Amino acid sequence: MTTASISELKANLSRYVNEVRRGGEVQILDRGRPVAKLVPATVGEDPKALDRLVRRGLIRPGKGDPAEVLKEPPLELPVSILDALLEDRDDRL
């Protein structure tokens, strides 16, 4: 399990969310003490859990067939993805 302070989590949230998306867990520390845990969202053994999350407005069910997205040609962007990524990372160095 990875640990991160609140300030580190705020600065690198996307990185930690991606880690959790891959199945990892992140323990969040406040002044060196564990206060929360970021874990993957799972339905688990409760078949109605997904319905409860939808009713609470925390998630939305998908529409249509996700495979349809792959039939579309890639977007034509005015800038290269690499240039955009490097520009985004410049302010962190």
Cα dihedral 47, 52, 58, 63, rounded to 10, equals: 60
CATH class of 2-90: alpha beta
Is this prediction's pTM over 0.85? no
68 token code pair: 């349809």
74 token code pair: 């890639």
Calculate mean pLDDT across residues 60-88: 86
Whole-number percent of the chain with pLDDT over 90: 38
| pLDDT recorded at residue 18 | 92
Q: 57 with 51: CB under 8 angstroms? A: no
| 3-state DSSP helix/strand/coil % of the chain, to nearest 5 | 40, 15, 45
Which residue, among 10, 60, 15, has the nearest Cα to 30 in the 3D structure?
10
**Chain center to CA of 44:** 19
Distance CA 24, CA 79 (A): 33
- Delimit the domains of the chain by residue range: 2-90
